Amino acid sequence: MREIDITKKLINCCDELIIDDEKRSIEATYELWMDVDKYFGTKTRNDPSAWVNFYTFWHFDNPVDITALMILDGDDSCEEKEWELTQEEKEFFHKMMEDYCMQKNGCTLREFFDRELG
């Protein structure tokens, strides 16, 4: 599916990091300034009512295993799909999440999780 390397594209974390105490994870939301169809294999380019939301998750119990979720949203539909990341993408998003947490909260993901739920 991947026609492009997301680690080489302009993407940004946005909004607040969200802690899920039940899943023991932290969620990051992204702005994707790239051709999402070439990465996800979607067809949003020709459908002005469709867009992609993308999230990654850092897990307290397995902090090096970053997972992802892609949501293909539209005026008439919504499809959620766990997105399998490559090892390089996991490392890329882990660093991006750590940097964003430091910028927003002045601490690491683990410290943020401990502080909020400790």
Q: Tell me: the pLDDT tens digits for 18-55?
A: 999 999 999 999 999 999 999 999 989 888 889 999 99
Read off the pLDDT of each residue in 50-77 and give the average, rounded to a whole number: 94
Residue 118 has pLDDT above 70, yes or no: no
Q: What is the predicted pLDDT for the residue at 117? A: 85
Question: What is the phi/psi pair of residue 19, to 5°?
Answer: -95, 130
pTM metric for this prediction: 0.93
Instruction: State the number of CA atoms in the 13 A half-sphere of 106 facing the CB.
Output: 1
